[in-house]
Amino acid sequence: MTLEEKQIQIVEEFGIFDDWMDKYEYIIELGKELPIIEEADKSDDKLIEGCQSRVWLDSSMEGDKMKFVADSDAIITKGIIGLLIRVMNNETPKTIATADLHFIADIGLQEHLSPTRANGLASMVQKLKMSALKAI
């Protein structure tokens, strides 16, 4: 599946919810499922300090594809991270660095990615793309 196809798939999944709370129920479930980073591995170089919730991000290369793991102390933030990683995982650095992540706005979660939101997500996307740029 291409990065674009993954985005379309997520938008379709969210299409069945017409209520905000149902949408968040789903995000929370995703947050609970996301593999977490062990406490011992939450080193400062992985930390992205948001004003409110904190995010940890780690990346590695497998062949020519990138792999990400991430975590957050807030479950909703974690759920959204889960979506971002699902889209970005197993892609080449070039695809990641140039990706237009429109699905976030399409499913109505753009507020969480605004730099003023203070949940660390905007910085996380930035850091994720930076690590891809470095790997090109």
Partner 1 sequence: MIVENEKIPFDINAIRAEFPVLKQKIYGKDLIYFDNGATSQKPQVVLDAINKYYSQENSNIHRGVHHLSQVATSHYEEARTIIQKYINAPLQEEVLFNSGTTAGINMVAFCFGELLTEGDEIVISAMEHHSNIVPWQMLCERKKCILKVIPMTKKGELEMDVFDNLLSNKTKLVAVSHISNSLGTINPIEEIIEKAHDIGAKVLIDGAQSIQHMKVDVQALDCDFYAFSGHKVFGPTGVGVLYGKKEILDSMPPYQGGGDMISKVTFEKTTYNTLPHKFEAGTPHIAGGICLGTAIEYLSKLDIDAIQKHEYELAQYAEQELLNIDGLRIIGTAKNKTSVVSFVIEGIHPFDIGTLLDKQGIAVRTGHHCTQPVMSFFEIPGTIRASFAFYNTKNEIDIFIKAVNRSLEMLR
Q: Which is nearer to partner 1, 42 or 129 (CB)?
A: 42
State in angstroms the smallest separation of the CB of 40 from partner 1: 20
Q: Least CB distance from residue 20 to partner 1, whole Å?
A: 4
Q: How many CB atoms lie within 10 A of CB 12?
A: 11
By C-beta, is 23 or 86 nearer to partner 1? 23
Shortest reach from residue 96's CB to partner 1, in Å: 27
N-term to C-term CA, the chain = 21
Catalytic residue among 51, 61, 105, 133: 51
Q: H helices within the chain, ranges in order?
A: 3-15, 20-33, 75-88, 93-97, 103-106, 110-113, 121-135
Size of the chain, expressed as the number of residues it contains = 136
User: Is 98 or 114 the residue whose CB approaches partner 1 more closely?
Assistant: 114
Contact positions toward partner 1, by CB under 8 A?
Answer: 20-21, 24-25, 28, 51-53, 73-77, 118-119
Phi and psi at residue 53, in whole multiples of 5°? -105, 155
51 has catalytic annotation: yes
- The set of catalytic residues is 51
